[in-house]
Amino acid sequence: MDAGDRPGRLAVGVLGAGKVGSVLGAALAQAGHRVVAASGVSDTSQRWAAERLGVRTRNPEEVVGAAELILLTVSDDALPGLVAGLASTGADLRGKLLVHTSGAYGLGVLDPAAQKGALPLALHPVMTFTGRDDDLNRITGISFGVTSPEPLRPIAEALVIEMGGEPVWIADADRALYHAALAGAANHMVTLIAESSELLERIGVEHPGRMLGPLLGAALDNVLRLGISGLTGPVVRGDATTVRRHVDALILAAPEAADAYVALARLTADRALAAGLLKPEAAERLLDALGGNIWT
């Protein structure tokens, strides 16, 4: 039996055939669903709609009219306006699965459409999307943060599994904290590594990525396996003099980076102390070196 002949196959519409929408639409098509319509403003989105989804772009109202499952794959800032617009146009949303992929929003952003009879789902893929063709392969095995009304939970989880992902239930009230945790790790890591690379380049290191790669790979492996117990470096060793030298060097070379270093070193010391990895007297010396005690 072909995938498209399996029961429960849906007509899929994609509102926002960009980096995320074109990939998730293609993943659903691989599972046997039919992508019937897509919208996209940019030339790239229109090209991806044709190449990845096999459809020409149409206006949002036409996409909604043609589809049974509608992916809302636009930016976080654009999502509330899109939902409100769909609800106000009089488009028939009754019984249609309305799926947004935002990590920051839960079900509340879909309320205007739900009041018109749409079935709301929040399915957030925990992955960065670059626009490269290999994005479709990279979503295999990733987690999706799933939030839905309880009666729709089996449908939400089934859709994630069909796209090759692993559904992880996130309570609606926890969506903001969930997304903060993910963005804090992934986005700030990029900033920190880019900053470190630039500092190394400034002192003449020709290939900072080659230098940082093994170190960062080991650090990431350690924390994922061991948690805070995988921490190494001058903070957990209580090397206050070294930490102060770091701060002084950064103040001269990159004052904005010095502020970030101090904040993260204090948080690191706090976590290390709480885990019993750092003795209180060593923590006091560290915090003095960082500019003062933050504990009461």
- Percent of the chain residues topping a pLDDT of 70: 96
Task: Write out the H or E segment, with its range, that includes residue 185.
Answer: helix 175-202
Q: Quick one: pLDDT at residue 90?
A: 83
Instruction: Say if residue 296's pLDDT is above 50.
Output: no
Q: Taking CA 20 as the corner, what is the angle to CA 53 and CA 124, rounded to the nearest 5 degrees?
A: 125
Q: What is the pLDDT of residues 6-20, one digit of tens each?
A: 557 999 999 999 999
Instruction: Say if residue 3's pLDDT is above 90.
Output: no
Which residues make up the CATH 1.10.1040 domain(s) of the chain?
Answer: 177-289
Look at 100 and 8; give whichever has higher pLDDT.
100
Q: Quick one: pLDDT at residue 259?
A: 94
The whole-chain average pLDDT of the chain stands at 94
The answer for residues whose C-beta is within 8 angstroms of residue 214's C-beta and 6 or more apart is none
pTM: 0.88
Question: What amino acid is encoded at 231 in this protein?
Answer: L
Neighbours of 57 (CB within 10 A): 21
* Cα–Cα distance for residue pair 95/68, rounded to 1 Å: 8
**pLDDT interval class at 294 (50, 70, 90):** very low
DSSP state of 260: H
Q: What is the pLDDT of residues 189-247, one digit of tens each?
A: 999 999 999 999 999 999 999 999 999 999 999 999 999 999 999 999 999 999 999 99
Residue 275 three-state SS: coil
CA distances from 229 to 48, 120, 145, 262, 267 (A): 44, 40, 27, 21, 15
Q: Which CATH class is domain 3-170?
A: alpha beta
Residue holding tokens 């009754």?
Answer: 94
Residue 275 in contact with residue 229, Cβ under 8 Å?
Answer: yes
Which residues make up the CATH 3.40.50.720 domain(s) of the chain?
Answer: 3-170
Q: Quick one: pLDDT at residue 5?
A: 53
Which CATH architecture does the domain made up of 177-289 adopt? Orthogonal Bundle (1.10)
In the numeric block, which tokens belong to residue 108? Answer: 């509340």
Question: What amino acid is encoded at 109 in this protein?
Answer: V
**pLDDT interval class at 254 (50, 70, 90):** very high
Residue 49 in contact with residue 57, Cβ under 8 Å?
Answer: yes
* Cα–Cα distance for residue pair 161/79, rounded to 1 Å: 24
Residue 71 in contact with residue 49, Cβ under 8 Å?
Answer: no
Question: What ranges make up the beta strands (E) of 82-173?
Answer: 97-100, 119-125, 143-147, 166-169
Instruction: Say if residue 150's pLDDT is above 50.
Output: yes
- Percent of the chain residues topping a pLDDT of 90: 93
Residue holding tokens 């190394």?
Answer: 200
Q: Quick one: pLDDT at residue 293?
A: 44
Residue 284 in contact with residue 293, Cβ under 8 Å?
Answer: yes
Instruction: Say if residue 183's pLDDT is above 60.
Output: yes
Q: What is the pLDDT of residues 55-72, one digit of tens each?
A: 999 999 999 999 999 999
* Cα–Cα distance for residue pair 115/161, rounded to 1 Å: 28
Residue 15 in contact with residue 25, Cβ under 8 Å?
Answer: no
